[in-house]
A and B are shown apart, each in its own frame.
Chain A
Amino acid sequence: MIRFEQVTKRYGRHDAPALAELDLTLCTGELTVLVGPSGCGKTTTLRLINRLEEASAGRIIIDDMPIDDLDVIDLRRGIGYVMQHSGLFPHRTVAENIAVVPRLLGWKRARIRARVDELITLVGLDTGLAGRYPHQLSGGQQQRVGVARALAADPPILLMDEPFAAVDPIVRTRLQDELRSLQARLQKTIVFVTHDIDEAIRLGDRIAIFAEGGRLAQYAPPTDVLAAPADDFVADFLGADRDLKRLALFSAADASAMSPSPVADPGTTDIRAIAQAAGVNWVFWRDADGAPSGWQYLDETAPQAVGTVIGPADSLRKALGAILQSPLGAVPRVDAQGRLDGVLDRAALAAVLA
């Protein structure tokens, strides 16, 4: 647990504070995202944690220890740090860069070598890259090395300052996914800075939204922030497509399907009754295995191809896209076994957001 107690940071004695009386508790094992417009104090907050900056007032406590009571070098060696432009040492190979902290800590050679190999695989790098120098790597590979270096001594805390901001959007999405699965396995306490609200929503267990002048505007899980922005600043920052972003956080399994859903099983003769019960003029057909096999208007004689099918793990944002494209304004949802278990329409999605 990392606790900020009334922390203020001024760079110059007479400057406006970069951070103003911050009270914030970051939970162990969670990924907390600090997000906000440029200059609002995110980097400052991060750098206070490993004392790259010293607070002007207030204190920061890690696991009941005020960090001012710790030796600053020990503190830093126990906290991983990843920055936007990897900050890799240009004169060290990939393997040597990753080995930096273990070497500072005086690990045995064999142990370091084993750990480096393990990390190269963990962050998804090709082992053939171990002997390369940073300038021989792509931006995405450099960021992976940066992450591996930060994780090398297995620190419980990881600080990441816009680590994916300098890579192209496709690589960024992949690195985000990898970070999420890495975090699912490692359960580190991660503090992640970004100014990209979408990245914050994708990654954060909790997000802390900062406003100008280092004011903490809201601190909550992404779903809560999207559902109930604390003020106009947060609502603006989330953007006009806030509901779309929220939908992206729900999976299809979270929605209640139309009740009753207009679904016909093989051998059904009176599809009209089924459709009318649901208040529509069409039905989805299920085959003998329960899988969706097509759909049919009441006044037509043959079913049409089924089209997009939504799985239980698909996001509701994807479901909405499919609903908008369907002539019916509805999509079939299947369960994990691929059996059609209900039909989703706009009302079903609206009910989730309500």
Chain B
Amino acid sequence: MKQDIGQRDSSPQTQKKPTKKTAEPDTEFVTVYIMGKAYKVPAGSTIMGAIEYAGYQIKRGAGCREGFCGACATVYRLPGDFKIYTGLACTTLVQDGMWLAQLPAIPPKKAIYDLEKLKPTVETFQLLYPEIFRCVACATCTKACPQDLEVMDYIQAAKRGDIEMVMDLSFDCLCCGLCAIRCPAEIVQFNVGLLARRLYGRYLNKKSQHLEERIKEIEEHKYDAEYEKLMKMSREELKKLYYERDME
């Protein structure tokens, strides 16, 4: 078998990576049920670490591995508890007896639109995501959100056309889809939030005068001469200029 590179075991500071190595002798273990199969994994692992420790090569279900991309939506149950929990595999720690499954993908519904033709008003939501008006205010989405966002509140704000509030409340949304998969009204919350943020950025965020002025200066070639001078300078000349430059 050909072997892939991308695997180095020497470490800069005798580091131990729980997901990459056999654990230390004194490591405590817990049992997790990955899609129903029991594996012993080091206590304190993230779900993602545990899946890899068990021997899976993840294809779907990992992206950034740091809580930004939402690729790793996971559902789980805990022993003696009737509830279904949701979390991100890359940031949620395993617990003894946890039964877990990653969601490889969540069927999306995304409106296709031309931002230039939209208005930052409630009509846009009525047109593109009319299902938000079916929201029954059950707060299941809010409970499901691994980012602890007020998901229901931003859907309510969208219904009122309060775009600034949707933008603000949905700002940290990872589009993981866990809210959408739990929603009894079949709403795709994260795409509603994304639309609102784009509307806000495009139409409602106050314009920056200095930005327009600078672009105009550049278009009028104000900096050409200085660029040409700098680009011709020797390393020594540049160095001198650099170390003497003043700081804001």
Query: Is B one of A's binding partners?
Result: no
Chain B interface residues toward A at CB < 8 A: none
Chain A interface residues toward B at CB < 8 A: none
